[in-house]
Structure formats: structure tokens, C-alpha cells
Amino acid sequence: MSDFQRLTCEEALELYENSSFHDLTGRAAERANQLSDPGIRTYVIERNINYTNVCSCRCSFCAFSVSPGDPKAFVLTDEQLVEKIEPLIALGGTQILLQGGLHPDLSFNWYEEFLGKIKQRFGNLHIHAFSPPEINFFAKKFKMSLSEILDRLRQAGLDTIPGGGGEILVDRVRKLVSPGKCSTEQWLEVMRQAHRLGISTTATMMFGHLETLPERLEHLDRLRRLQDESLQHRETDPAFGQFTAFTCWPFQAGSTRLARSNPNIRHVGAFEQLKMTALARLFLDNIPNIQASWVTQGPKIGQLSLLTGCNDLGSLMIEENVVSAAGTTFRLQLDQLRRLISNLGFQPIQRDCYYNLLP
């Protein structure tokens, strides 16, 4: 382990179950310092914009979405979108995370025009948008191939794709918590096609509900295998996309149907979150960045994550709605976020979506 040879799933399981917390997180911190500048920790200033809350999928763990026709349903207007982006620009923000639900009534032209309006008004703003379940939904609804959907979205203004909707990439689990959403292979295929088109993506995992520990590792292994595939292509084609970062967070029970129907789900606390993050850093040896999840765990645990395998504190996130709907609400000001980093002895540096450092 000292030379960080690639872990098998069996070795990772053994490490997680039998290593001390200090040993596991210490190795992860060492690995993070090998893969990134050990003197700095990064962050990004973005806004998470939900363009609609209407979703025909209605996953059991989601307390944010509503069904079509619900009185609380919304689709952002152009004016509302501008009102959300202008304060971000004023704060020095560089990107938006744009996600919605599987809306049955919006046309594909609506999505293209939506992206185009953003680029027309805010030309330098990076658009990190549309999770794999959304893109897979577009392909089915509009009867186009994934590559055609992705190419048209890219031409309209899409820059990169977030890793949302991954939950656990094991179909046994997905059928229980999100039966209306895309399968494991469909999620991976969206990312594979995006990488082929030169669109980089991020990867995520939501754990601590109905999955087993081996299934968490199966999830990580599927990500690592796809990244291997993409990096092999990048050796001859540097424009090929890749996973730029990974982040994981525990299921937020709140008022979700999943929690109500499974009252014995064990709450995942900070200890397990830090251990899982550390294990991900050691297992995902080909994904360069691990992002902390202070939004679900709070600022202090987010700060501790920078000592247990994370090299990035994530987003200032001046707006967040989905996790908040489940009852978990944490907020930070920019000076607070930077202090969380600097108080550990690291230099806080703002980055872009590709992890390029910004002046």
C-alpha cells in the first residue's frame, strides 16, 4: 500500500473494514498530496440553478421534485435566470450548475434556446449542466442518439456534465430507490459518449440508504473502469473528455419517501463520510480530484475532508435547493470558505471547472 498500487475491490473492502481511521485517512491524505499541489486546496464559485422542479421520475429519495401539474411546479423564465446569474458574476463566479427534472412537456428546442440565451448574455460563463438521467431522457423523448443530443447541447452552449443521478451504480439498488431513472449502463454510456465528444464530466455517489458496502465499491469500480477507457483514448487524442473529479455524500433522509418506507435505514454520520471519502481517494487512482461535501456535512466536516483525501472544498454554492428540500441546509460566505482552507495551513485558490487555477 505504501507505493499506492491499484486496489482491488476485495483489498479496498478489507482496508475499509479493518484499518484504523487514522491509517485510512492518513494514506488518503498522502495520496491527495501526490496527485495535487500539497500546499493548496481549491474551490469554485458557482450557482446551482434548478431550471424546473417538475420530474416524471419522482425518485424516493428526492424531496424537491413535483409531478407535472402540481401547484408548486415551476420552469424558470428568462428574467428569473438573469436574476440568478448576475449576482454570481458580481461575486466573481465562473460557472453555473444547471439541473432540473425529467420534464415531460419541454421541447428540445427549449433546452437549446435556454443554453443559447445564457451564452449570449454571459459569454464567459461555464455551463456545467444536465445529468446523465436528463440526457438519457432527452434521447428517448426526442428520439435521437445520445451523441446527437450531446453534440446539439454542446453547440448550444453546454461545456461539461455533472455526475448527478449516479446514486449507486448497481441496478439492484437503482430499482429500489429510483426505478424510473436510467440504468447503470445507461448512466455510464452517457458519460462514455460525452467523453468521446470531448465533453468532460464529474462523478458522484450518494450512499447510506439501501446499498451494501461491496455495492459502493462496485460503483467506484465502474467509474474507474470508464475512466481507464477514457484516459487510454486521451493518450492519442488530448481533446477526449474524462472524469475531472469525484464527490460523495450520504443520503439525506429528511421527509423523503425512501426514509418513510424504510425506517430502519441507518443514519450515516461524519465518521463514515470521512472514511468513505478517504477510501474513494485511494481506490479512484485515475480520477485526479476529490471534492469535499460540506453542503451535506457542514463546514467543519468539509474542512476535515481536506485532511482525509480531498484536495478541493467544492463550490461556494450560493444557491442549493435539492439537498435543502430534504432538511439539510448549510451556507457559507466566500471569506468563510477561504478561511476553512487557510486555517489548515493551505493556500485557498479559486479554480475553474477543469481545475485550472484562477488568479
10-19 pLDDT, tens per residue?
Answer: 999 999 999 9
Tens digit of each residue's pLDDT (9 = 90 or more) over 156-185: 999 999 999 999 999 999 999 888 899 999
Crossing angle of helices 9-18 and 270-283, in 10° steps, is: 150
pLDDT of residue 323: 45
pLDDT range class, residue 264, cuts 50, 70, 90: confident
Calculate what percentage of the chain has a pLDDT beyond 90: 74
Read off the C-alpha cell for 8: 482491488
Tens digit of each residue's pLDDT (9 = 90 or more) over 225-240: 999 999 999 999 999 9
pLDDT of residue 329: 55
User: 268, 299, 281: which is closest to 43 by C-alpha?
Assistant: 299
Indicate if the alpha-carbon torsion angle 58, 118, 105, 193 is positive or negative.
negative
**Average pLDDT, stretch 258-263?**
73
The domains found in the chain, sorted by start residue, are 9-350 (3.20.20.70)
C-beta atoms surrounding 277 within 10 Å: 27
* Mean model confidence pLDDT for the chain: 91
99 touches 134 (CB < 8 A): yes
